[in-house]
């Protein structure tokens, strides 16, 4: 398990854009399971939408990407992991994105990602988001680890 303190040593994101709370499972180079607790205190609900809060799909995609970033960094050789402060993950593409159900305050988003391809600094991930075992979003993400 990777808690929020360790996540913050891996990812450069901070509030309000740090979108994973904990990693519950990970197999280096293969897969990761992480989650985010969605609360009414999220800044985004001030405008999306007043009186009818819906967590934006773009935030779900970003949360999946952050989980993928943790997987990529934690899959590096231990000696290379020290260099993560000098690296960042950039999106290259988001393909086949689908949003299947709305996410609302009180939901726990569980991100499940599997590596489809990894070559050098490039990662291709099958990413899915669930609430209570119901698929709410999915996409194929391609990203690259680069120097800051």
What are the CA-CA distances from residue 117 to residues 72, 111, 112, 144 (Å)?
Answer: 12, 18, 16, 12
Q: Over range 16-23, report the average pLDDT.
A: 97
CATH at 129: 3.10.129.10
Domain count, the chain: 1
- Tell me the mean pLDDT in the region 120-141: 97
Model-level pTM?
0.95
Annotated catalytic residues are 48
Q: Give the pLDDT score at 83.
A: 72
Full domain range(s) for residue 116: 4-147
pLDDT of residue 148: 86
Span 74-108, pLDDT tens digits? 998 877 667 777 888 899 999 999 999 999 999 99
Which of the pair, 78 or 140, is modelled with greater confidence?
140
């Amino acid at each position: 398990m990777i808690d929020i303190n360790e996540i913050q040593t891996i990812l450069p994101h901070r509030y309000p854009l740090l979108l994973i709370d904990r990693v519950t499972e990970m197999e280096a180079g293969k897969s990761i399971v992480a989650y985010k607790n969605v609360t009414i205190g999220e800044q985004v609900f001030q405008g999306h939408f007043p009186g009818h809060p819906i967590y934006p799909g773009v935030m779900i995609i970003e949360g999946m990407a952050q989980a993928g970033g943790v997987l990529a960094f934690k899959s590096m050789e231990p000696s290379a992991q020290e260099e993560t402060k000098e690296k960042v993950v950039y999106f290259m593409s988001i393909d086949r994105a689908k949003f299947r159900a709305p996410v609302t305050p009180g939901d726990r988003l569980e991100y499940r990602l599997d590596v489809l391809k990894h070559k050098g600094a490039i990662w291709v991930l099958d990413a899915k988001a669930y609430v209570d075992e119901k698929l709410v979003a999915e996409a194929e993400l391609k990203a690259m680890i680069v120097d800051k």
